[in-house]
Each structure stands twice: as C-alpha cells, then as structure tokens.
C-alpha cells in the first residue's frame, strides 16, 4: 500500500491540507463509477485518475483560515475543496496535461461516485470494521474529496490491492461503540444513526473512530469533528 503524496501536487494544495493521494488507470476508474461519471462523458482523453485526500488536522485548519469560512455562505469545506482542486487541475492543464477535477460531494446523472472504492483501488486506504476506509498513516482520520481525471499517465507504481488494516487488531473500536454498530460484520449504519439521534455522547464525537489503533495522533480537533458530525446529522435527521 502506498502512503506517499502525489509528487506533482502543487505546494498550495499541500498547504490547504491535501496531503495524501493515489492514482489509478482510466480503465480501473471507469469500472468503479456510475455511467455518467465515466471518462468518456467527463474527460474523454483522460489516461488516469488521481484521488486527492486530506488526512489529519491541516485541512480543517486551512478551512478555518479560508475566506469561505468567514463569508457566511454554505458548505465552506466543499467550496474550499472546489477552489483548490480546480486550481490544481488548471496547473496540470497549463503544464500540458489537460485535467478536470471531480468531487465526492457532487453528483453526475443523479448519482454519487463511490470515493471509498476509488481510494481503495488507488492503494490509498483499506476497508475497516468502522465502515470508514483506513489510511496507513492517518487511520480513519482521512477524507477522499477529489478525483482529477487527467491526460497524464498513472503516476508511481501500480497500487497494491488494499490489505485489511483490521487483521490482528484486538478491535477496541467494538467496545467503544455504545450503539453496537461496530462488530464482526459490516458496519451497521442504521444502528449508528439511531444511537447518534438518542445518545448525547454520539452527537458530536464518534468514540469508536477515536478508539481505532491507526493514526490516533491525527484525530480531528473537537471543533472539526463537531462540524463534520453536525453536517451529516443535518442530512440524516432532516
Ligand atoms: C451521501 C454521504 C453521506 C450521507 C449518507 C446518507 C445516505 N444514506 O444517503 C451522510 C450525510 C449521512 C453521511 C454521513 C457520514 N459520512 Co459520508 N458520504 C456520503 C457520500 C457523499 C456519498 C456516499 C454514496 O452515495 N456513495 C455511493 C454509493 C453507491 O455507495 P454506498 O456504499 O451505497 O454509499 C452509502 C455509504 O457510503 C453510506 N455512507 C456515507 N458516508 C458513510 C460513512 C461511513 C463511515 C459509513 C459506514 C457509511 C457511509 O451512505 C451511502 C448511501 O447509503 C460519500 C462521498 C462519496 N462520494 O463516496 C461520503 C463519505 C462516504 N462519508 C464519509 C464520512 C467520513 C462520513 C461521516 C463519518 C461524517 C461524520 N463525521 O459524521 C458520517 C458517518 C455516517 C454513518 N456512520 O452512518 C467519508 C468516508 C471517509 C473514509 N475515511 O472512509 C466519505 C468518503 C466522504 C469524504 N469526503 O471522504 N455521508
Ligand atoms: S457515532 Fe456512536 S454509534 Fe456511531 S459508530 Fe461512533 S460510537 Fe458507534
Ligand atoms: S480499532 Fe482495529 S479493528 Fe477497529 S477499525 Fe481500527 S484497526 Fe480495525
């Protein structure tokens, strides 16, 4: 599994917290996305797809320092992401490899693309009991925000298939979850949602995520976690 960041990523993107990335060939990208997301529809000459991820605390610090945080508008996280990633695509385009940024929060043909599947295929992360994909450095404290379709070839070696980072772990995440959402089987989304609604401890903080043995030093600040939990609660409990 590769943990290194894309070497060609402009410094301004790293400064904005985009500190992890991976790449996959066009055919692998096309096999994982809904029809309206395929390269032939969105970037017909693309040769590869680069997943840009944010791990740990730097991204939210950049959000809080950004004009999008202060202007009172909606979705500062997504708007900063769009501004930075569009600029990355412009830099790569100007360097001779036309590129287009696509986003985890947008839909094409009425559907999201599965960014967890894309990140795993790019060798960036592996599935876990938490439902979240784990990054070898950042653990569950990583978000897959952008895919850039580009005419540049896949960078770096082909990705290793994602190995489970949960193997040989004593699974402290299971006991830490008061809702029984984390166990041996797939993460129980409904049990988590119901617990979040009725248990004050789960309203702003996920104890199971904090219990994960991978990357605890990269845990989001309380303010960042509260922001993300509130955003998902608005969607879940509307
Ligand atoms: C829509 C969405 C949501 C919706 C889901 C509502 C619904 N049922 O439709 C809401 C707003 C509730 C949500 C919540 C969260 N989400 Co969300 N979500 C997405 C999004 C934008 C699309 C998912 C999708 O439709 N995929 C395509 C379909 C085909 O695949 P699917 O497997 O059937 O999708 C389902 C699951 O992904 C599930 N889901 C969504 N988020 C999460 C997170 C976890 C941990 C689990 C187990 C399931 C889950 O909802 C989808 C629809 O049923 C993705 C980004 C992306 N484009 O992938 C992020 C994404 C999956 N979410 C993410 C996160 C972190 C969360 C939260 C933990 C945020 C928070 N702190 O509260 C919560 C946890 C939810 C939970 N424990 O149940 C991250 C996961 C990162 C990682 N390391 O794996 C992603 C990849 C976004 C990102 N920028 O990185 N999410
Ligand atoms: S938010 Fe609460 S119920 Fe959901 S997984 Fe985390 S600890 Fe479990
Ligand atoms: S604590 Fe262990 S079992 Fe639980 S998600 Fe993290 S690595 Fe997997």
Last residue of a domain, one of 118, 150, 182: 150
**Is the CB of 140 inside a 6 Å radius of any atom of ligand 2?**
no
Closest-CA residue, ligand 2 atom 8, reads 177
Name the domain count of the chain: 2
Same domain, 219 and 114: no
Whether the per-residue pLDDT at 4 is higher than 50: the answer is: no
User: How confident is the model at residue 8, as a pLDDT?
Assistant: 81
Considering the domain architecture, whether residues 122 and 176 belong to the same structural domain is answered as no
Domain-located, residue 81: yes
Q: How many A from CA of 35 to the centre of ligand 3?
A: 33
Question: Does residue 190 lie within any of the structural domains?
Answer: yes
Local confidence band at 164 (pLDDT 50, 70, 90 cut-offs) = confident
In a domain, 85, yes or no: yes
Same-domain status, 125 and 190: no
Which atom of ligand 3 lies closest to the CA of 211? 1
Residue 53 near ligand 1, beta carbon < 6 Å: no
Beta-ladder partners of 135: 139
Report the pLDDT value the prediction gives residue 55, as an integer from 0 to 100. 98
Q: Is a pLDDT exceeding 60 seen at residue 50?
A: yes
pLDDT tier at 153, thresholds 50, 70, 90: confident
Q: How far apart are CA 68 and CA 50, in angstroms?
A: 25
Distance, in Å, from the CA atom of 148 to the CA atom of 115, rounded to the nearest integer, reads: 12
195 in contact with ligand 2, CB cutoff 6 A = yes
Does residue 222 share a domain with residue 116? no
Ligand (nearest to CA of 136): 3
> Which residues have CB under 8 Å from 132's CB, separation 6+?
140, 209
What is the average pLDDT value for the chain, to the nearest integer? 93
The domain of 228 spans: 172-236
Please report which residue ranges of the chain form alpha helices under DSSP H.
11-15, 26-32, 39-42, 58-65, 67-70, 76-94, 115-121, 172-176, 189-198, 207-211, 222-236
Confidence grade of residue 236 (pLDDT, cut at 50, 70, 90): confident
Residue 1 lies inside a defined structural domain of this protein: no
The reported pTM is 0.95
């Amino acid at each position: 599994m590769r943990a290194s960041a894309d070497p060609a990523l402009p410094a301004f993107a790293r400064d904005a917290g985009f500190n992890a990335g991976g790449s996959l060939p066009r055919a692998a990208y096309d096999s994982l996305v809904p029809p309206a997301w395929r390269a032939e529809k969105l970037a017909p000459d693309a040769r590869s797809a680069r997943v840009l991820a944010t791990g740990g605390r730097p991204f939210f610090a950049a959000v809080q320092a950004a004009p999008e945080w202060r202007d009172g508008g909606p979705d500062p996280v997504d708007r900063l992401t769009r501004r930075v990633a569009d600029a990355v695509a412009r830099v790569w385009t100007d360097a001779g490899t036309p590129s287009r940024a696509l986003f985890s929060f947008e839909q094409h043909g009425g559907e999201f693309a599965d960014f967890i599947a894309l990140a795993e295929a790019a060798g960036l992360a592996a599935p876990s009991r938490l439902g979240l994909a784990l990054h070898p450095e950042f653990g569950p404290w990583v978000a897959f925000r952008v895919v850039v379709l580009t005419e540049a070839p896949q960078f770096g070696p082909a990705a290793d298939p994602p190995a489970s980072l949960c193997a040989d772990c004593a699974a402290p995440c299971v006991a830490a979850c008061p809702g029984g959402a984390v166990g041996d089987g797939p993460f129980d989304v409904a049990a988590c949602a119901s617990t979040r609604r009725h248990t004050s401890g789960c309203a702003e903080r996920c104890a199971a995520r904090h219990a994960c043995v991978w990357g605890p030093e990269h845990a989001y600040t309380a303010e960042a976690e509260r922001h993300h939990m509130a955003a998902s609660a608005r969607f879940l409990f509307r």
